Amino acid sequence: MESPGATSRPGATVGGCPLNTVDSPADRAGRPGRRSRLRQSGAWLAALVLLATSGVVGCRAAGVDAVTPVPQVLAFLPWLLVPAGVALLLAGLARWRTGLVWALLLLGALGWWLRPYGPGPGGGDGPVIATVKVMTANLQFGRATPGLFAAVRREKPDLVYVEECSFVCADALRTGLPRSVYPYRVVVRKAGSKGSAILSVFPLRSAPAVAGTMAMPGATARIHGVPVRVQLAHPMPPLPRQVGLWKRELGRVRSFAAAGRAPTILAGDFNASQDHAAFRRILEDGHLHDSARLAGHYRTPSWPAGAWPAGPQIDHVLVSGGFTVASARFFPLRGSDHRGLVVRLGMHAGT
């Protein structure tokens, strides 16, 4: 005899005879309850992901680098598309409308900031009076010194900015890239990552360095009779306990860039990408432009060397408005965790 409110479930037999089994009201109530709990858990997980991601995106929107871990995560801003997409999926499965809207807005904001930052390709005034090929290379404590020599022989740049040129690197420059090839140079001999060098085929006149933990030498080059400021950038990276130092040293680089309106080529490992406010401020002052952006390579990763499909572009060649960018290319630098960057510039009359 069936109990009141029960439903039959076919398939069971007793003594070979079919027997209708039943689901009690409690069983029927349990299944929707479990689904409800799963949806609630999905909504909570989506909310946690959205909160964490929104914190970083909010700092990007506000133009602040904040504190650890925000600067470190901002370097990999394109990767935030992954958690935002996961949150969208979870919110959809949980039927959480607010979460769906939140995730879509977050994805839209991320898509907006994946666009190139800064002005588009422009042009200098007057005819091109000189072509200048610039290379910047971080040698990772000098380990990539042989790789640098091979790249320089292949590319034949006119100006070479070398970061993390250790004692061994500085000594090797004398024979690997002798003065017969680069007669003018500024070399700061320091241990490990602190050493740096600028090599030039153009005459150099000494200029004050930008103060920093790692050497950031500068000079004035005479290019086709025009004095051009050449400055190497290598501020400290935004390590968890050194974010304040990173901001101060990038601020000094910005002060150099804004100090005058003379033609300028500022290049090196900035330890900052277009998603860091401290780097964008250098460009927002209006004097300098990012050559990779002008050449259409604004999201090409430069560190770590094997970054795929997206990583930060922290190695830059910034130029003043009298230069046009004919090409910019990142290349593998054997022995280094950075990729090198070589840029071909046109210097215009009236620069």
User: Does residue 222 carry a pLDDT above 90?
Assistant: yes
**Beta strands 226-233; 264-269: pairing state:** parallel
What is the gyration radius of the CA atoms in the chain, in angstroms? 29
**pLDDT confidence of residue 116:** 87
Residue type present at position 302: S
Six-digit token string for 194: 């602190």
Nearest to 195 by CA among 145, 266, 240: 145
pTM: 0.88
**pLDDT confidence of residue 32:** 66
Higher pLDDT, 274 or 16: 274
User: Does residue 132 carry a pLDDT above 80?
Assistant: yes
**Beta strands 315-320; 288-290: pairing state:** antiparallel
User: Does residue 2 carry a pLDDT above 50?
Assistant: no
Residue type present at position 121: P
C-alpha distances in Å from residue 236, one per residue of 33, 68, 214, 272: 54, 15, 7, 10
Six-digit token string for 130: 């000189």
CA distance 88 to 83: 9
Q: Read off the pLDDT band of 121 (50, 70, 90).
A: low
Average pLDDT over residues 224-232: 97
User: pLDDT of 23-73, one tens digit each?
Assistant: 554 444 456 678 888 899 999 999 999 999 999 999 999 999 999 999 999
CA distance 209 to 130: 26
C-alpha distances in Å from residue 46, one per residue of 33, 54, 57, 79, 99: 20, 12, 16, 17, 7
Average pLDDT over residues 91-96: 95
The torsion region of residue 195 among left (phi > 0), alpha (psi -120 to 50) and beta comes to beta
C-alpha distances in Å from residue 233, one per residue of 161, 216, 330: 9, 6, 17
